[in-house]
Amino acid sequence: LVSVMYANNETGAIQPIREIGALCRKRGVHFHTDAVQAAGHLAIDVQRNKIDMLSLSAHKFHGPKGIGLLFSKSSIQLTSLIRGGGQERGKRAGTENLPGIIGLAAALKDAQENMQQNTAYITGLRDALRNGLDKIDGAGFNGSREHCLPGTVNYSFQGVNGEALLSLLSNEGICCSSGSACSAGSLEPSHVLLALGLSHETAQSALRFSLCEYNTMDEVQTIITKVTEAVNRLRR
């Protein structure tokens, strides 16, 4: 089994899923992709990309929290995690979260139908945010500028503590993060950024910004202004 993120949850970098899928299919290896960050934001074709299994989560495209989905080819033999009744074709026992399932389906349908329009709009916001943050002395972009999600931006700021920066921005009503939600509460620098070759100090200065179709250009300009002010304040 090969399991690869479709898009990284910290940098937004999109992985070469089609090439990986083709290689796995050629070698007779099952291929799973964690598409939590990508679903609802990128056009995903499981047949063309030769994906055997795919997982996603509703809250990443404005659906309810606490509900996810696993796509699996019928030829894949899955071992039951929770045994019991015959629900979910014997794959999982327990009462189904029907409101969550309906909410996931509705949100995904809406995201798919408006994907082209939303992507163009969010990409404009993202590019404006990048251009603004690039002007800050010692700011470093983390990830791929070309192969990336439309709404994820990750920057490190030399000589600044990320948690202190996060606190100042929070006081200004700006919601961002120093890593993924999966590592919330950890004081250690991101293992993703360390693997990219950043130093311990630089990785600890990084922040991740997430944009969506409900954000505005005025908000982006506010982010640029407040980040610039906060970085300069901390350096002083």
Active site residues: 182
Give me 86's structure tokens: 């015959």
Q: Which two tokens stand for residue 200?
A: 């311990």
Residue 191 is given by DSSP the state H
- Mind giving me the DSSP string for 18-72? HHHHHHHHHHT--EEEE-TTTBTTB---TTTTT-SEEEEEGGGGT--TT-EEEEE
Residue whose C-alpha is closest to residue 5's, from 66, 51, 59: 51
What burial letters (b/e) apply to 157-185, b meaning 16+ CB within 10 Å?
A: beebebeebbebbeeeebebbbbbeebee
